Chains A and B, each alone.
Chain A
Amino acid sequence: MKKKILALLTIILILVSISTAVFAGDPGGGISIPPPPIRDSIVDTE
């Protein structure tokens, strides 16, 4: 009996973790922002 309950609990935990993993989304932490392309050459006054 105990073994059966343990097995059932394990299955439920696995199912919950799958569900969480699918919708866990991005772990977070910033993105890279590349610079824009250059379209012309200007005289930089700096």
Chain B
Amino acid sequence: MKNLNLGQNLKKIRKDLNLKQQDIAGEDVTRNLISLMENNKTPIYHNVANIISKNINAILAKRGEDIYIQAEDILNPERYESRRIANKYVEKLKKHLEEKNYELKIEELNEIENFLNRWGFIDKKVKIYELLGDIFYNASDLNREYYYYIKALEVSYEYPNMKERYKLILKLVYNCIITRKYHEAIRLCDFAITTQEDLTEKYKGIFHYNSALSYYYLGDFYKALDHIIYAKFYIAFDDYREMRRILMLEGVCNSEIKNFDGALRVFNKLLAIINENDIEEMCMSYTNILRIFVDKNEKEKVIEYHNKILEYLPKIDEHSDYFVQLLLSIAKTYKYLGNLNSYEEYLVRTLTLSCEIKEENSFTHSMSLLLDFYMENEDYEKIENLLNKYENNIINFHIDEKFGITLKFIYSLINQDKNWEAKYLIKRLLKKEEI
């Protein structure tokens, strides 16, 4: 096997792929020539190898097979043989996923990368990079996940007949939204919708939904609602999982533009299709509805939904995706209702849990609200306790250059015992942030 000549290699490729000589000849080359080449009676030139590989790939694409043969595979038996090794890497990575083993040693990664760099198998590269992205997704390693999906996508542009590239793009879009790269997510959604010819209707809807969500986070609620219209057009109403998300998003967007009646109508439709066992989703809906009644200042309705949420809360797993946000919402509702003890209690719960699960947004938000609360009540001992407990987190807050400059000014004032000036500067900064 190791010492195959070119003719034998060509025959091996053909047999491995279950193809006849006529199949790979196509219309540009005669079957007779193929036979001569396989028997080493005539050399295989690069242009002929190109034609043959194109014919092979056209057949494989029609069959829906995920293999891409290049001219170099035909002209280099060692390279074609190395495809078997590439297949072993694919199987190994698939096994990692099946066994939920998301730890990859750095040596293993380097070995795979070096192999792919040496041989440049386009189809295998796409497959392997995507599998690596999947592994890092499951390992919650967002940076590596992004890195490998982007690599897979870039290589996939060299793979002309690639099927279902949109599924890879969708995984990348998801990562971009989670890591707040909203503009990139939108760009990728547009790209998928406008260029991927094999995109199904349902996936079109999903890309529009993800676009809408990105626009929501960017604060462009009208564009979000535009994309929601498209999403609803492409997704069947009984695709419940997708439809629930679309309706939830439609509801919160309408809420943001103060179309409260529209928002409530949408949330009612949503509640009708939420599975009664999905308590977390129900509480999310109640939270979003409660916010509308706060904006409308309908206190009785606020209390009604607040109590519903409190009733269901113990049934939700604390480590589920949205529990910490539900706690934060409950805290803020208590403040609205004037129950400051419970406000503090739930803020502390939010802070503790968000620190534990490393949920940054809720951590900083609840910390900020607690500090405001303690400052208002001049409870400096509690502030000091917070600082002692969360010192490490606070020291590791990201400080950009401009904020660093501000801190230096304040430090300098304090150093000169000019405390009043320092306080005045800080108040001006905080007031500006509030506005």
* Contact between A30 and B332, CB atoms less than 8 A apart: yes
By a CB distance below 8 angstroms, the chain A residues around B332 are 26, 28-31
Q: A18 at the A/B interface (Cβ < 8 Å)? A: yes
Q: Is the CB of A28 within 8 A of B210?
A: no
The CA of A39 and the CA of B430, in the complex, are separated in Å by 39
A30 to chain B, nearest CB (A): 4
CB A38 to nearest CB in B, in angstroms, measures 5
**Chain B nearest Cβ from A32, distance in angstroms:** 5
A21–chain B nearest beta-carbon distance, Å? 8
Q: Which residues of B contact A (CB under 8 A)?
A: 167, 170-171, 173-174, 177-178, 185, 202-203, 206, 209-210, 213, 216-217, 238-242, 244-245, 248-249, 252, 255-256, 275, 284, 287-288, 290-291, 294-295, 302, 321-322, 325-326, 328-329, 332-337, 343, 368-369, 372-373, 375-376, 427, 430-431, 434
Which residue of the partner chain, among A25, A33, A41, A44, contacts B325 with CB atoms under 8 Å? A33
Neighbouring A residues of B248 by C-beta, 8 Å: 34-35
Residue in A19, A23, A30, A39 whose beta carbon sits within 8 Å of that of B333 in the complex: A30
| Interface residue from A23, A32, A36, A46 paired with B291 (Cβ < 8 Å) | A32
Within 8 Å CB of B287, what residues of A?
30-33
The residue in A28, A31, A36, A41 that gathers the most chain B C-beta atoms within 10 A of its C-beta is: A31
8 A/B residue pairs, CB under 8 Å, sorted by A: A26-B332, A27-B335, A28-B336, A29-B336, A30-B294, A30-B329, A31-B325, A37-B174
Instruction: Closest A residue to B253 by CB, please name it.
Output: A34
How many residues of chain A are within 8 Å of chain B by beta carbon? 27
Q: Of all chain B residues, which has the CB nearest A25?
A: B372
The smallest beta-carbon distance between B165 and chain A, in angstroms, is 14
**Quick check: B202 and A23 within 8 Å, CB to CB?**
no
Q: Which 9 residue pairs are nearest across A and B when measured between Cβ atoms?
A: A28-B335, A25-B372, A29-B294, A29-B336, A23-B375, A28-B336, A39-B174, A30-B291, A35-B245
Residues in chain B near residue A34, CB distance under 8 A: 213, 216-217, 248-249, 252
Tell me if A38 and B245 are in contact (CB < 8 A): yes
Kindly state the separation between the CA atoms of A36 and B332 in the bound complex, as whole angstroms: 22
A42 on the B face (CB < 8 A):
yes
- Known contacts: A28-B343, A29-B291, A46-B275. The answer to whether A35 contacts B244 by CB under 8 A is yes
Q: A-side interface residues toward B, CB under 8 Å?
A: 18-42, 44, 46
Q: When the two chains form their complex, are residues A46 and B240 in contact, meaning their CB atoms are under 8 A apart?
A: yes
Q: Which of A22, A26, A37, A42 contacts B210 (CB 8 A)?
A: A37
Say which residue of B210, B290, B427 sits within 8 Å of A30 (CB atoms): B290
The SS class assigned to the A binding surface is loop
- Could you say which of A20, A30, A32, A42 contacts B376, with CB atoms under 8 Å apart? A20
What chain A residues lie within 8 Å of B335 (beta carbons)? 26-29
Whether A37 and B213, one on each chain, are in contact in the complex, defined by CB atoms closer than 8 angstroms, is yes
Q: How far is the CA of A32 from the CA of B203 in the complex (A)?
A: 26
Q: A37-B177, A37-B213, A44-B240 given as contacts; is B170 within 8 A of A30 (CB)?
A: no
Report whether A31 and B329 are in contact in the complex, using a CB–CB cutoff of 8 Å.
yes
Closest to B373 in A: A25
Query: Which residues of A lie under 8 Å from residue B238 when comparing CB positions?
Result: 44
* Minimal beta-carbon separation of B288 from chain A (angstroms): 6
Complex Cα–Cα for A39 and B239 (A): 15
- The distance from the CB of B188 to the nearest CB of chain A, in whole angstroms, is 12
* A26 to B367 Cα, complex, angstroms: 12
For residue A36, which residues in chain B have a CB less than 8 angstroms away from its CB? 245, 321
Chain B residue with Cβ nearest A37: B177
In the assembled complex, the Cα of A33 lies from the Cα of B320 at a distance in Å of: 14
Are B252's CB and A37's CB within 8 A?
A: no
Contact B241 A42 (CB under 8 A): yes
A15 CB, min distance to chain B CBs, angstroms: 11
